[in-house]
Each structure stands twice: as structure tokens, then as C-alpha cells.
């Protein structure tokens, strides 16, 4: 049996760094169009508008430019060989977090290797956690910026188990003392 990787479309908002992940059945034009329309629906539900998408030369994206224009989305393609830096960094971060989570499950907690079918769920879970962490020099999380709601820690970060240590960072003020920054 071959190890078939399932594609995941990652969308990163340039302003808020809000990341959306949509699992794809394949990289066909129809699958890519449906994924982009799902991402647009996330923005529409939150009274935001998706105006422009920047892609590198993906085979499933180039032919759907007219379809996207009809939906009010401008498609900008990078030059051949160029990559979309913000997306590549986000993809790398999501993969690293998912790998670290999978390795932690294997070695520490349960002592077995989760099956590869969970890889997509791990990536989507990592996206969910990453959008609820404030970015550098920001007071709000990407989730708060897009959704315009405060995160509910009982709802959004409920994967902590009883007696499991959690480090919570306090916002760092302007001080030069040696006060503790975590609890």
C-alpha cells in the first residue's frame, strides 16, 4: 500500500496572520475552487471581504483565474520559480508543530505511533492553536482580529488535561527587574 499524501490548502491573511486550512481531495481545478470558496465563506461569515489571493504557479490554481474573478477575487500569480514567503513559512511552522505533537504522543503520553490518517487532523489542530496565539508586537490574536471576539480559553484551548503543567505568559511590561514572566 502506497503512502499517499493528502493536500492541504493553507490561506494566510497578510494583515492579521489569520490562517485557514482546507483539506483537499486532490489538486484538481474543482477541488481548489471549492477550497477557495470555503475560505471566502469564512471571511463572509465574519463580515470581511476576500479581495485578492497570491499564489505561486500551482497547476490547479492557474486555470481558475476567471472563476475567481467572477466571485470577486483577484488572483495574482508569482513569477515562475518564486514562492509566496508568508505561506511557505506558515506551512513550515504548521508541519513542525504537527510533527512535534505526533512525536510527543509517541514517546511521552501514550507510547505508540499514531497512524498517518491523523496527520491532517494534527495540521488542522495546529492551525487552530496558532491563530489563538498573539503574534509579535500585537495585543490581539489573529482569531480576535478576524472574528472580532475574545478567545474563550475553556472553549478554544481545552486540550489540557488534569494535573498537566501549563505555562501562561504575562504580558511583559517595561521593567528591568528579574520578575517572573510565566506562571
Q: Is there a domain that residue 59 lies in? A: yes
Residue tagged 490562517 (cell numbers): 19
Q: Is there a domain that residue 67 lies in? A: yes
- Cα angle, residue 95 at apex, residues 65 and 125 outer, rounded to 5°: 90
Q: Is there a domain that residue 1 lies in? A: no
Q: Is there a domain that residue 167 lies in? A: no
Max Cα-Cα span within the chain: 59
Q: Is there a domain that residue 161 lies in? A: no
**Which pLDDT value is given to residue 151?**
62
CATH number at residue 16: 3.30.420.10
Q: Is there a domain that residue 130 lies in? A: yes
**Which pLDDT value is given to residue 21?**
93
CA separation, residue 146 to residues 37, 140, 151 (Å): 17, 10, 12
Q: Is there a domain that residue 174 lies in? A: no
Question: pLDDT tens string for the chain (183 positions)?
Answer: 455 678 999 999 988 899 999 999 988 889 999 999 999 999 999 888 989 999 887 778 888 888 888 888 898 888 878 888 888 999 999 999 988 888 777 666 666 777 788 889 999 999 998 998 888 888 888 888 888 766 666 665 566 666 666 666 655 555 555 555 554
Q: Is residue 173 packed enough to be buried (19+ CB in 10 Å), middle (13-18) or exposed (0-12)? A: exposed
Query: How many domains does the chain divide into?
Result: 1
The domain in which residue 104 lies consists of 8-152
- Cα angle, residue 27 at apex, residues 22 and 30 outer, rounded to 5°: 80
Q: Is there a domain that residue 162 lies in? A: no
d(C-alpha 65, C-alpha 77), whole Å: 10
Amino acid at each position: 500500500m502506497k503512502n499517499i499524501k493528502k493536500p492541504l490548502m493553507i490561506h494566510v491573511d497578510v494583515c492579521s496572520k489569520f490562517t485557514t486550512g482546507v483539506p483537499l481531495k486532490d489538486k484538481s481545478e474543482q477541488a481548489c475552487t471549492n477550497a477557495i470558496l470555503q475560505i471566502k465563506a469564512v471571511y463572509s461569515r465574519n463580515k470581511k471581504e476576500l479581495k485578492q489571493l497570491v499564489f505561486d504557479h500551482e497547476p490547479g490554481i492557474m486555470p481558475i483565474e476567471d472563476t475567481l474573478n467572477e466571485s470577486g477575487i483577484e488572483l495574482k500569480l508569482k513569477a515562475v520559480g518564486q514562492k509566496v514567503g508568508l505561506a511557505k513559512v506558515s506551512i513550515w511552522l504548521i508541519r513542525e508543530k504537527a510533527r512535534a505533537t505526533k512525536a510527543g504522543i509517541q514517546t511521552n503520553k501514550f507510547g505508540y505511533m499514531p497512524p498517518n490518517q491523523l496527520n491532517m487532523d494534527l495540521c488542522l489542530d495546529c492551525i487552530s492553536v496558532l491563530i489563538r496565539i498573539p503574534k509579535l508586537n500585537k495585543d490581539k490574536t489573529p482569531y480576535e482580529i478576524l472574528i472580532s471576539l475574545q478567545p474563550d480559553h475553556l472553549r478554544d484551548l481545552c486540550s489540557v488535561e488534569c494535573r498537566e503543567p501549563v505555562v501562561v505568559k504575562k504580558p511583559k511590561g517595561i521593567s528591568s527587574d528579574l520578575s517572573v514572566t510565566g506562571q
